[in-house]
Amino acid sequence: MVNLLNFNQPQLAQWFAKQGEKPFRAKQLMRWMHHFGVHDFERMTDIAKVLREKLAMEAEITLPHVQLEQVSNDGTRKWLIGADTANSIETVFIPEDDRGTLCISSQVGCALECTFCSTGRQGFNRNLSVAEIISQLAIANRSLRQEAGYDMLPAGERIISNVVMMGMGEPLANYDNVVTAMQIMLDDNAYGLSRRRVTLSTSGMVPAMDKLKEDCPVALAVSLHAPNDALRDVIVPINKKYPLKELMAACNRYLEKAPRDFVTFEYVMLDGVNDTVEHAHQLVDLVKNVSCKFNLIPFNPFPNSGYGTSKANHMRVFRDILMQAGYVVTVRKTRGEDIDAACGQLAGKVLDKTKRTATRIAIEAI
């Protein structure tokens, strides 16, 4: 049976049309599935009983299984969600005083091999479906509502106010499914998030960035992590295909349609690798023609990473150089580290089709 969570509203309207139903049924069902979080057709009281019975025979609204839910000492939550019998993904909720941010995965593993990222070390298995992507928001909503004592949230209230496509995987490598899922997030009959409150983080897939600005321009974050091509080729290997000059030009093109007037550059601080005074000055020169802000991220260690976290005084000097050049700079507070939910730590369970993990273990054994 077809899982209706795979459809945005226009696609759902087309599906209903094939069943001989009116397009407005799509709006009704979107509200029940996403806005109210009701997945039992029998509870959809404004839909005729005959149609509810037909839907139960021909379709389903099915969430993946939650294998584990963990809560950090700082309130961060992580869900381990089964993608299939061999694979699982991770989703993280970060509560703050003025917002609640959900970090969503787009792939089982990641094929890009960024050297500082635990997910990349796991290898890659497959893309997530639209249903698997949007289900992460549904699962988190359900869990947080239950804890707050709500079956359905009162009108106007929202526990999850922001979504970031920054979990496992490179979102733009799963373009069609990610865009469809984000369209559901933005739909007023679903989650009703504004484009400013949905952020996509990419390592720099330039052609897909250009496509995204036309199809679904949301807030953009770019995983930069190095101020020159020689270093970024090592840390973020996709740079060999789309070097920094091309990436900066793509950022400027994206800003023509973006809901924010800046790009956020994410920069993981690696001790002695990319955190020197010289690197900071190179970074200022690199972005001088791009409207941007910086998010400096302390490296979160994982076994055999080969990297260390930048020293606090090095991070302060690095930050001050950027700020003196006129840039807004935030230093990300590490959240959820005690449950491996911090940036770069998401690993899940990946049956690696790339054989990357086995190859690395063999090389390390030599």
| Residues identified as active-site | 90, 343
- DSSP notation for 296-307: EEE----TT---
Counting other chains too, the contacts that 150-156 makes at CB distance below 8 Å and 24 or more residues apart are: 152/36, 152/37
Is residue 204 a contact partner of residue 251, using CB atoms and an 8 Å limit?
Answer: no
Give burial (CB, 10 Å; 0-12/13-18/19+) of 148.
Answer: exposed
Structure tokens at 115: 């050297």
Query: Residue 240: helix, strand or coil by DSSP?
Result: helix
Q: Which residues pair with 198 in a beta bridge?
A: 163
- Show the DSSP H helices in the chain as ranges: 9-18, 24-30, 49-58, 118-121, 130-148, 175-186, 206-215, 229-235, 244-254, 277-286, 312-324, 356-365
Roughly how many angstroms between the first and final C-alpha of the chain, as a whole number? 49
Q: Which residues pair with 344 in a beta bridge?
A: none
What span, in angstroms and rounded, lies between the C-alpha atoms of 110 and 96? 28
Structure tokens at 304: 């055999």
What span, in angstroms and rounded, lies between the C-alpha atoms of 298 and 295? 10
Q: Which residues contact 138 (CB under 8 A, 6 or more apart)?
A: 5, 33, 34, 37, 63
Among the listed residues 242, 268, 240, 256, the one whose alpha carbon sits nearest the alpha carbon of residue 332: 268
- Length of the chain, in residues: 366
Q: Which residues contact 194 (CB under 8 A, 6 or more apart)?
A: 186, 259
Structure tokens at 103: 């970090």
